[in-house]
Structure formats: C-alpha cells, structure tokens
Chains A and B, each alone.
Chain A
C-alpha cells in the first residue's frame, strides 16, 4: 500500500524559508523511474507543480519558481524535502506531495492529504 504524508509548519512569516517534508511508504525512491514531487494549490485556485526528484537524482522544477526551490531526497528515511525561500502571502496554499513514475511521464495515482501553509505579512 502506497502512502505519502506531508509535514511542516502551518504558519510562516513573509521572507522566511519554508521547509516541507514528504514521508512515504510502499515504494522505494531507488526503483528505476520512480520519483516524488510537490504540487500546491492556493485556496480556491488551481493546482501548480513545484518540483520533482527522481530515483537517479534528476530534478525538475517549475520554471517560474525554480530560483526559490530546492528539492532533495533521503532514501534511507523514505523522505523528500522541499525548501522554498523568500515566502510571500501569495504562497499561502495547500502543499501536496505525490508519487511519480516513468521519470515524470506518468500521471499521479498517489497523493498525500496535503498540508496547508499560511504566510503572514
């Protein structure tokens, strides 16, 4: 059974750095083609892909946010960590982690429940 769970602060202040952790089970990030990624959704708005990391340490970032994002993995802990610098109130959103396959060329079958992050000014 594949599960993913997001953890991190619920509230951050503007200009601070956000660090989110995705802890997963039921699959390995050392398996060929497998990845974990982050997607966010501001309240009442659409889904936005942020960053993905794959089994071979390949990383894919949103072009519009890549200067602020860093993604890394810890395969021994089954965790993927996302950091986003210089947070702004517009970054208030629910942040989801997902499992990816086929090096990103596959839809998302498994999602975490999401973690709401509020950015205060």
Chain B
C-alpha cells in the first residue's frame, strides 16, 4: 500500500496570503510517458470532498486558478495563491497509481 504523508497538519494564513501544502508518497507516482497519478481534494465541513487537481497539476473544471499543483515522483505541492475566506477547509492529497487509492492525513487551512 502506498503511504501518503502531508505537511503541515494545519496552517493559519491571513487573507490574501499564499498557502502551501506538501504531500509525499512512499513510492513514485509517475509512469513514464504518462503522468503523475496524484490528486488534491478540498473538503469543507459537512460536505464530501471536492476534486481540485489531478495529474498533479491539472485543475478540475470550475476550480479557481489561485489553486495550483506541482511536483513529480514522490513530492508534490498544492499552492493556494491569495487565500480567500471560502478556502477554509481540509485539503487531502490522494494517489491513484495503485488501487485502492490512498489519501494523506489532511491539512487544515484556517484564516489567521
């Protein structure tokens, strides 16, 4: 089973600041000639997770462009540029390289 580890567990930023979340996988999620099998989700209280990014950096339709993803292999980053009040949520990374997929432990983002 691929283990996903996120850091930090939580962060508090001021409105308009940049938030950065890291995700590390226990094995490479990259397939040569294909892509990185890594997704990011946003989960607000009382709701199911919402897909934000997949293939590590492709935004899902309708996701604001302040959300971006980077990284390859085993190390990935979710960046939220210019943090908005509606971005308060828990964010999860997920690998879908090896089913069943596994998730990171989540990172809680709050407004300072």
Residues of A within 8 A of B (CB): 37, 46-52, 60-64, 96, 100, 103-109, 111-114
Report chain A residues within 8 Å CB of B99: 52, 60, 100, 103-105
Q: Are A105 and B92 in contact (CB under 8 A)?
A: no
Question: Chain B binding site: helix, strand, loop or mixed by DSSP?
Answer: loop
CB of B49 within 8 A of CB of A104, answer no
Q: B-side interface residues toward A, CB under 8 Å?
A: 1, 37, 39, 41, 43, 47-49, 51, 54, 60, 92, 94, 96-97, 99-106
Counting from the closest, the 9 A-B pairs by CB-CB distance are: A104-B99, A107-B39, A111-B48, A49-B100, A107-B54, A47-B103, A60-B99, A60-B100, A46-B105
How many pairs of A and B residues are in contact by the CB < 8 Å rule? Answer: 59
In the bound complex, residues from chain B placing their C-beta under 8 Å from that of A48 are 103
